[in-house]
Amino acid sequence: MQSLGERAASDNRRKVLTGPPTRWSSPLTRILFITATRLGDAVLSTGLLDHLLRTVPDARISVACGPVAAGLFQRMPRLERVIVVEKRKRDLHWLSLWRACIGTRWDLVIDLRGSALSFFLPARRRAIMRGGRRNGHRTLHLAGVLGLDPAPMPVAWFDAPDRAVAEEWLPGAGPYVALGPTANWTGKVWPAARFAALFARLRETMPTARPVVFAGPGETERALGQALIDRLDDAIDLRGTLSLAEVAACLSRCALYVGNDSGLMHLSAATGIPTLGLFGPSRASEYAPAGPRAGFVAAPGPEGDAPIGGLPVEAALQAALRLIG
């Protein structure tokens, strides 16, 4: 197991982020932040927003993102609005976004999609992320857009009502073990039987632990989650029933999260709880969970081309125990 979060946390202790680059030293009050469609990439981008909130105290921020990620930003401080970008044929969604933004004189436009849209909006400053694949973790790519070193870690925003919902679902002290058996494609899905076997082994160390199964909305996610729930006697079912802020609040009450490479994995790491990502045919060097107590374990084989079925329960168990130890 390797931990990006531990390394980044150490870096953050050595070097405090003091503000945006000097070329943006003039006041920034209206910021447009264009981020990802997918949940995982959107979560990873929250570190940049957190940096802006801490270093530009007068900023009002509008976030443009896909519908799946929209709920992620609803509790963000100083949010002006969330602009939902619905995918349309012939890239007409960019025209819709332009129409939604053209009436504002922006102090800063941050475009993590690398689109041409930013050049057609009235803006004093622009920061545009170039496209294409490159080495290194996604948080490092994102940090480069604002010239930040070290990379700011993702955060999760939720409030008191969200915590109240979480306390209703997960009362008392637990401990609760969160399990994320779903992903956006089946190649990344660790078998449900191994999740169940892993939890049984964890219960040897945590006898009173209860499993909590998380999944997104939709029939595919529900089916993948059900395959695990059927193997657990006392699982708490949190599949697609809560808002993202409520999910984050529930995750924050858990002693451990173990899940496939997915948006929920990244959200869990952003809450700060011990989070173990399970990797097979996706690149942990680029998309390992990023947080203060996050790590990953990968199936044996070439990175990005290793069958997830090759990941044994024992390897996941030892990695999980090191995280909570």
- Condensed to tens digits (0 to 9), the pLDDT of residues 109-160 reads 999 999 989 999 999 999 999 887 788 999 999 999 999 999 999 999 999 9
CA 24 to chain CA centroid, nearest Å: 27
Structural domains in the chain plus CATH codes: 18-145 (3.40.50.2000), 160-324 (3.40.50.2000)
Q: Give the amino acid at 212.
A: V
> Count of residues for the chain?
325
CA distance 211 to 180: 10
Helix (H, G, I), strand (E, B) or coil at 226: helix
CA distance 318 to 79: 41
Q: What token pair was written down for 92?
A: 């007409």
Integer CA distances (angstroms), 32 to 49, 100, 104, 157, 229, in order: 11, 11, 10, 19, 41
What are the residues facing 211 on neighbouring strands?
177
**Packed helices 263-271 and 244-252: angle between N→C axes, nearest 10 degrees:** 50
Question: pLDDT value at position 270?
Answer: 98
Nearest partner of 48 among 149, 144, 143, 156, judged by Cα: 143
Q: What are phi and psi of 123, to 5 degrees?
A: -150, 140
Integer CA distances (angstroms), 189 to 102, 283, 284, 311, in order: 42, 14, 15, 11
User: What do you get for the CA distance between the two ends of the chain, in Å?
Assistant: 13
Strands (E), the chain: 30-34, 60-65, 79-84, 106-111, 123-128, 176-180, 210-215, 236-239, 256-260, 275-279, 294-298
Q: Which residues of the chain have pLDDT under 70?
A: 1-26
Question: pLDDT value at position 21?
Answer: 45
Triad 11, 14, 16: Cα angle to 5°: 95
What are the residues facing 258 on neighbouring strands?
179, 276
pLDDT tens digit sequence for 166-192? 999 999 999 999 999 999 999 999 999
Q: What token pair was written down for 263?
A: 């948006």
Which pairs from 82-87 meet CB under 8 Å and 24+ separation?
A: 85/37, 87/37
The residue to which tokens 């004093």 are assigned = 124
Triad 44, 47, 53: Cα angle to 5°: 145
pLDDT tens digit sequence for 16-26? 333 344 345 55
The burial of 186, by beta-carbon neighbours within 10 Å (0-12 exposed, 13-18 middle, 19 or more buried), is given as exposed
CA distance 305 to 2: 18
DSSP at 280: S
Tally of CB atoms within 10 A around 17 = 17
Question: pLDDT value at position 65?
Answer: 97
Integer CA distances (angstroms), 114 to 64, 206, 269, 274, 318, in order: 13, 46, 26, 32, 40
